[in-house]
Chains A and B, each alone.
Chain A
Amino acid sequence: MTQFVALHPQLHQQLRVDTSRIEALGAQQHLVPVVLSEFLKLVVHYPIVFSKNSETGQFVCSALLGFSAGENLFWRNGEWQGIYTPLQIMRQPFFIGEQQGQTLICIDVDSELLKTGKGEAIFDNQGQETSYLQQAKNRLAALINGESETQAFIKALLTLNLIMPMALDISFANQQQQRIQGLYTINEEALEQLTSEQLLQLQQRGYLKSIYTMIASLGQIYALIQKKNEQLG
Chain B
Amino acid sequence: MNNKIASVVIVGGGTAGWLTAGRIAAQHRTQTASTLSVTLVESPNIPIIGVGEGTWPTMRSTLIKLGISETDFIRECDASFKQGAKFARWVTGTPDDFYYHPLMLPQGFGKTNMAAHWQALRDQQQVQESFSAATCFQEAICELGLAPKMITTPEFNSIANYAYHLNAGKFSTFLQKHCTEKLGVQHVLADVVTVNSADNGDIRSITTAQAGEISGDLFVDCTGFQSLLLGQHLQVPFVDCSDVLFIDNALAVQIPYDSEDAPIASHTISTAQDAGWIWDIGLIHRRGVGHVYSSRHTSEDEATARLANYVGPAFKNANLRKIPLPCGHREIFWKNNCVAVGLSAGFLEPLEASALVLVELSASMIAEQLPACREIMNITAKRFNETFRYRWDRIIDFLKLHYILSKRTDNDFWVDNRDPATIPQSLQQLMQLWRYQPPGDHDFTSNNEVFPAASYQYVLYGMGFETCYDNSSHLLRDTQFAREQFIKNKKTIEQVTRSLPSNRELLQKIHLHGLQTL
What 0/1 readout, one digit per residue, does chain A (52-66) give for beta carbons within 8 Å of chain B? 111111110000000
- A80 vs B516: C-alpha distance when bound (angstroms): 34
**Given A52-B152, A182-B152, A58 and B509 touching (CB < 8 A)?**
no
- A54 vs B509: C-alpha distance when bound (angstroms): 11
Q: Residues of B contacting A144 with CB < 8 Å? A: none
Task: Please determine whether A163 and B518 come into contact, CB atoms closer than 8 angstroms.
Answer: yes
Give the Cβ gap from A181 to chain B, nearest Cβ, in Å.
Answer: 10
Q: Residues of A contacting B518 with CB < 8 Å? A: 163-165, 184
What 0/1 readout, one digit per residue, does chain B (99-132) give for beta carbons within 8 Å of chain A? 0000000000000000000000000000000000
What 0/1 readout, one digit per residue, does chain A (40-61) give for beta carbons within 8 Å of chain B? 0000000000001111111100
- A53 vs B150: C-alpha distance when bound (angstroms): 11
Q: Residues of A contacting B512 with CB < 8 Å? A: 56
B window 494-518: CB within 8 A of A = 509, 512-518
- A59 vs B517: C-alpha distance when bound (angstroms): 11
- A112 vs B151: C-alpha distance when bound (angstroms): 32
Give the Cβ gap from A67 to chain B, nearest Cβ, in Å.
Answer: 18
What 0/1 readout, one digit per residue, does chain B (124-150) give for beta carbons within 8 Å of chain A? 000000000000000000000000001
Q: Residues of B contacting A158 with CB < 8 Å? A: 516-517
A window 55-108: CB within 8 A of B = 55-59
**Given A57-B151, A57-B152, A182-B152, A52 and B509 touching (CB < 8 A)?**
no
The number of residues on chain A lying at the interface, defined by a beta carbon within 8 Å of a beta carbon of chain B, is 14
Q: Residues of A contacting B151 with CB < 8 Å? A: 54-57
Give the Cβ gap from A163 to chain B, nearest Cβ, in Å.
Answer: 7
Q: Residues of B contacting A164 with CB < 8 Å? A: 518
* Chain B interface main SS type: loop
- A58 vs B150: C-alpha distance when bound (angstroms): 12
The number of residues on chain B lying at the interface, defined by a beta carbon within 8 Å of a beta carbon of chain A, is 12
Give the Cβ gap from B405 to chain A, nearest Cβ, in Å.
Answer: 42
Task: Point out the residue from B153, B513, B517 that lies within 8 Å of A58, measured CB to CB.
Answer: B513
Task: Please determine whether B516 and A52 come into contact, CB atoms closer than 8 angstroms.
Answer: yes
- A164 vs B154: C-alpha distance when bound (angstroms): 12
Task: Please determine whether B516 and A56 come into contact, CB atoms closer than 8 angstroms.
Answer: no
Nearest to A53 among chain B residues (CB) is B152
Nearest to A51 among chain B residues (CB) is B152
Nearest to A59 among chain B residues (CB) is B516
- A57 vs B517: C-alpha distance when bound (angstroms): 11
- A56 vs B510: C-alpha distance when bound (angstroms): 8
- A164 vs B517: C-alpha distance when bound (angstroms): 10
- A193 vs B509: C-alpha distance when bound (angstroms): 34
Q: Residues of A contacting B517 with CB < 8 Å? A: 158
B window 283-340: CB within 8 A of A = none
What 0/1 readout, one digit per residue, does chain B (168-201) give for beta carbons within 8 Å of chain A? 0000000000000000000000000000000000
Give the Cβ gap from B375 to chain A, nearest Cβ, in Å.
Answer: 42
- A158 vs B514: C-alpha distance when bound (angstroms): 14
B window 460-518: CB within 8 A of A = 509, 512-518
- A57 vs B509: C-alpha distance when bound (angstroms): 9
Q: Residues of A contacting B513 with CB < 8 Å? A: 56-58
Give the Cβ gap from B289 to chain A, nearest Cβ, in Å.
Answer: 31
Nearest to A164 among chain B residues (CB) is B518
- A53 vs B151: C-alpha distance when bound (angstroms): 9
- A19 vs B91: C-alpha distance when bound (angstroms): 68
Q: Residues of B contacting A52 with CB < 8 Å? A: 152, 516
A window 156-186: CB within 8 A of B = 158, 163-165, 182, 184
- A170 vs B517: C-alpha distance when bound (angstroms): 26
B window 243-292: CB within 8 A of A = none
Q: Residues of B contacting A53 with CB < 8 Å? A: 152
- A54 vs B152: C-alpha distance when bound (angstroms): 6
Nearest to A57 among chain B residues (CB) is B151
Q: Residues of B contacting A182 with CB < 8 Å? A: 152
Nearest to B517 among chain A residues (CB) is A158
- A52 vs B509: C-alpha distance when bound (angstroms): 14
Nearest to B516 among chain A residues (CB) is A57
Give the Cβ gap from A57 to chain B, nearest Cβ, in Å.
Answer: 4
Nearest to A187 among chain B residues (CB) is B518
Q: Residues of B contacting A59 with CB < 8 Å? A: 516
Nearest to B514 among chain A residues (CB) is A57
Nearest to B153 among chain A residues (CB) is A57
Give the Cβ gap from B498 to chain A, nearest Cβ, in Å.
Answer: 13
Give the Cβ gap from A154 to chain B, nearest Cβ, in Å.
Answer: 10
Give the Cβ gap from B74 to chain A, nearest Cβ, in Å.
Answer: 13
- A164 vs B516: C-alpha distance when bound (angstroms): 11
Nearest to B513 among chain A residues (CB) is A56
Nearest to B149 among chain A residues (CB) is A57
- A57 vs B518: C-alpha distance when bound (angstroms): 11
- A163 vs B516: C-alpha distance when bound (angstroms): 11
Give the Cβ gap from A191 to chain B, nearest Cβ, in Å.
Answer: 15
- A101 vs B150: C-alpha distance when bound (angstroms): 31
User: Which residue, B153, B512, B513, B516, has most C-beta atoms of chain A within 10 A?
Assistant: B516
- A182 vs B157: C-alpha distance when bound (angstroms): 13
- A59 vs B516: C-alpha distance when bound (angstroms): 8
What 0/1 readout, one digit per residue, does chain A (179-207) give for beta carbons within 8 Å of chain B? 00010100000000000000000000000
- A55 vs B150: C-alpha distance when bound (angstroms): 9
- A164 vs B512: C-alpha distance when bound (angstroms): 23
Give the Cβ gap from A81 to chain B, nearest Cβ, in Å.
Answer: 30
Give the Cβ gap from B303 to chain A, nearest Cβ, in Å.
Answer: 44
Give the Cβ gap from B148 to chain A, nearest Cβ, in Å.
Answer: 15
- A182 vs B518: C-alpha distance when bound (angstroms): 10
User: Which residue, A53, A56, A59, A164, has most C-beta atoms of chain B within 10 A?
Assistant: A56
List, sorted by A's number, 18 A–B pairs whose CB atoms are closer than 8 Å.
A52-B516, A53-B152, A54-B152, A56-B151, A56-B509, A56-B512, A57-B151, A57-B153, A57-B509, A57-B513, A57-B515, A58-B513, A59-B516, A158-B516, A163-B518, A165-B518, A182-B152, A184-B518
Assuming A54-B151, A57-B509, A57-B513, what are 7 further A-B pairs, CB within 8 angstroms? A52-B152, A55-B509, A56-B509, A56-B513, A57-B516, A158-B516, A182-B152
Would you list the 4 A-B pairs with minimal beta carbon distance, nearest first? A57-B151, A52-B152, A56-B513, A57-B152
- Give residues in A with beta carbon < 8 Å to B: 52-59, 158, 163-165, 182, 184
